[in-house]
Amino acid sequence: MPADARSADRVTNYNKFWEQKSANDNQTHRANRLDQYTEVVNGYYDGATELYEYGWADSFHFCRFYKGEGFLQALARHEHYLASMMHLKPGMRVLDVGCGVGGPAREIARFSDATIVGLNNNDFQIGRATNKTKKAGLSDKVSFVKGDFMKLSEQFGENSFDAVYAIEATCHAPNFEGIYGEIFKVLKPGGVFGVYEWCMTDEWDASNPKHKEIAHGIEVGDGIPEMRNLTAARNALKSVGFDIEHEEDLADRGDVVPWYYPLEGDIWKAQTVWDMFTCWRTSKMGIFCTQNAIWAFEKVGLVPKGTHSVGESLIVAADALVAGGRTKLFTPMALWISRKPAN
């Protein structure tokens, strides 16, 4: 997919949706982001996608780690766990809401032999997902379509999928009730919805300046119009009609190796030799080298104008995510398995 699939204007304008200081970011700014969520998200991913691929391969999500477990192995296991909890199997038609460049869709298709339809509103990512899937020889099992996840029933019709999953994607929606309600509609009666949700934990206090600063850093650094807590997600699932079968914050398992360790930039925490490079990329030296290379690429037109600025936002995000993880004020892996009643 050529670079012109991305909008330089969207990338350049991305940071204008936020006040950089959390104390100055008010309800008016949030309302503007929520109203223009598609511009917010597309501006972010037009600038961030290749940076994600550089730092995180094809699966743009976090995961739990066991001691000695490789980074890519852990990402795949996280995807397998979701598919297993949902009981995905051959013959099922499954929707991936917010599929990125298709890494999880391809992995889950291999693992479950289900047929996956990936939904994305970003042309650049759809192009990359389609090409990567073709190279992997999975085009018969995995496909991608452009669409707005707040209008799923308009695009697919009601009762269209046996299962739906979302991996760290529905946090980009302007509200949980809207996105979960659309997922409920497109599921067949008895269908299952599995989600890894980004949430502030119930210990988070929006009136606490330090807590607000962490949430704001996650928002501005990850293209999220508004962070919400676990209670908001749980209540939204119930309010649209889902029966919750399983709920767990996987980040609260007490793992020896924390989910955020690749963001800390400490090569000595790497679980394998190869993952030392993964950790180096988020070190001060790694960030310096990456950002200077992006600056040069931007100057000669290899990446859209504004990509360097989005890269700076990712640095803010990493710091906020680590702070949120250490204080247990944030989780990227609140797991819900919910079912649409059969009748």
Give the active site residues: 168
| DSSP state string for 148-162 | -TT-HHHHH-SS-EE
Number of C-alpha atoms within 13 angstroms, CB side, residue 146? 10
Cα distance between residue 23 and residue 32, in whole Å: 17
Instruction: Give yes or no for a contact between 330 and 168, defined as CB atoms under 8 angstroms apart.
Output: no
What secondary structure letter does DSSP report for 229?
A: B
List, in sequence order, every residue forming a beta bridge with 337; answer none if it has no partner: 194, 246
Hey, is 186 helix, strand or coil? helix
| Parallel, antiparallel or unpaired: strands 243-249 and 330-339 | antiparallel
Question: Could you tell me the two tokens for 252?
Answer: 């609260």
Q: For residues 215 and 210, give the distance between their C-alpha atoms in angstroms, rounded to a whole number.
A: 9
List phi, psi (to 5°) of 318: -60, -45
CB 93 within 8 A of CB 162: yes
CA quadruple 155, 157, 158, 164: dihedral sign: negative
Amino acid type, 315: I
Task: Report residue 22 as tokens.
Answer: 């959390």
